Amino acid sequence: MFSSSSTPWTHKRSVCALATLGAAALLAGCATSPAPKAAAPVHVKVFVATMFEIGKNTGDRAGEFQHWYERYWKDATPINVPGALGPVYCNNDGVCGAVLGMGKVNSSSSMQAILLNPAFNFSQAYYVISGVAGTPPQRGTIGEVSWATWLVDYDLGHRWAPEENKAGEPTFMPRKGYEDYRRFQLNPTLTGWAMKLSADTPLLDSDSARKYRTRYPDAAARRAPFVGTGTHVTGDTFFHGPGMSKQAQYIAKLYGADDYVITEMEATAITLVIKRSHGTDRVMSLRGAVNFDQGNPNETTLAHLDPAPGETAGGFAETVQNIELVGSRVVDHIVTNWGSWQNGAPKLP
């Protein structure tokens, strides 16, 4: 029999007690160590949404993003966002931007992922939806830059073939229930500021665009590039031809919007995503026309869609630069005068 003072079980209990105390002390030390501090979200003042880039972000042929990137984000670290097509770039002034992807689904899903990501604070952000587009020759020209007054969806409705209707009557009927999705009147004060700040921007032009304009008899088509306003029509199809152009104008008027001046593929979808999180008062749509939405009177729509070599409109490089030249005037003004803009667009003087 072992005595109680010398039993190995007593020694074992002592060792276990010491181990338990040591573990408790270790846990206590861990509990009092400060956790790594999460980075504060970027306070976004202006977000520039583009749809595609041709190659790299800098140093090669420019798409919709490159000139914005070279102006604001050449030294920025990309912020990867799960669910978005590409990274977001931000500078120290709160100007951020990204390539969202072409088409309604592609662009709006990227915008949703970015808006919901905790790396960003969009509570006071302004948005510039920026890209290239088409324009009807009756109201626009190659190289022009347009601020949207209205955004109208081309697709939400019923369509049928013209031969299945009475001659000359519309072949489109709005679908009931989509009233809140198919059109947006953008903030007139904000659009007014955009024009006030950018209407006199010197725009670039090209010899090829000048030559191409002469194919059209319309006075608007023959104009030099200018900054204007009007309704931007969003469609997932690259609609072409005088018939489709007339239908776009018909839809714009049917919805009580201004004249249709721009055809593009993303703005209503992106704006709907923004609306559900932050409203539309701070949304701007900025597009530059790189083609007409129809051929000239001497060519078929198919010939216009699939031009022969050397028969394209030209002016693409100049137009993507014009977009940034116009848009950056507004972006810079908002950021420079943030104290007057953070709570909403001030009244026009």
State the pLDDT at residue 168.
85
Task: Compute the mean pLDDT over every residue in the chain, rounded to the nearest whole number.
Answer: 90
At which residue do the structure tokens 């109208």 appear? Answer: 152
What tens digit of pLDDT does each residue of 320-333 get?
A: 999 999 999 999 99
User: Identity (one letter) of the amino acid at 71?
Assistant: R
State the pLDDT at residue 175.
87
Residue 8 pLDDT exceeds 50 = no
User: For 326-330, which contacts have Cβ atoms below 8 Å and span 24 or more sequence positions?
Assistant: 326/145, 326/198, 326/201, 326/203, 326/227, 326/286, 327/48, 327/68, 327/128, 327/130, 327/198, 327/286, 328/68, 328/71, 329/197, 329/198, 329/201, 330/128, 330/193, 330/194, 330/197, 330/198, 330/284
Q: Mean pLDDT over residues 223-240, rounded? A: 96
State the pLDDT at residue 37.
65
Residue 3 pLDDT exceeds 70 = no
Residue 285, both tokens: 């749509």
Q: What is the DSSP string of 134-181?
A: EE-TTT--TT-EEEEEEEEESSSEEE--GGGS-TTS--EEEPTT-TTT
DSSP assignment letter at 330:
H
DSSP assignment letter at 2:
-
- How open is the CA angle 85-234-291, to the nearest 5 degrees? 95
State the pLDDT at residue 195.
98
Residue 268, helix vs strand vs coil:
helix
Residue 39 confidence class, pLDDT cut points 50, 70, 90: confident
Residue 14, C-beta contacts closer than 8 angstroms, at least 6 positions apart: none
At which residue do the structure tokens 């059109």 appear? Answer: 183
What tens digit of pLDDT does each residue of 247-257 get?
A: 999 999 999 99
122 vs 47, 58, 86, 130, CA distance in Å?
Answer: 9, 27, 18, 18
Q: Are 289 and 144 in contact (CB under 8 A)?
A: yes
Q: Which of 51, 47, 207, 233 is nearest to 146 (CA)?
A: 233
Residue 195, both tokens: 């024009």
**Angstrom distance (rounded) from CA 174 to CA 181:** 11
State the pLDDT at residue 310.
79
Residue 188 confidence class, pLDDT cut points 50, 70, 90: very high
Q: Are 292 and 212 in contact (CB under 8 A)?
A: no
What tens digit of pLDDT does each residue of 145-184 get?
A: 999 999 999 999 999 998 999 988 899 999 888 889 999 9
Q: Indicate the helix (H) or strand (E) that contains 102.
A: none
| Poorest-pLDDT segment among 12-21, 34-43, 132-141 | 12-21
Q: Are 121 and 277 in contact (CB under 8 A)?
A: no
Q: Could you tell me the pTM of the whole model?
A: 0.88
State the pLDDT at residue 35.
58
311 vs 85, 209, 215, 314, CA distance in Å?
Answer: 33, 11, 11, 9
Q: Mean pLDDT over residues 83-108, rounded? A: 98
What tens digit of pLDDT does each residue of 297-314 get?
A: 999 999 998 888 878 899
In percent, the amount of the chain with pLDDT more than 70 equals 89
Residue 215 pLDDT exceeds 70 = yes
**Angstrom distance (rounded) from CA 102 to CA 113:** 16
Q: What is the DSSP string of 295-308?
A: --TTS-HHHHHSPP
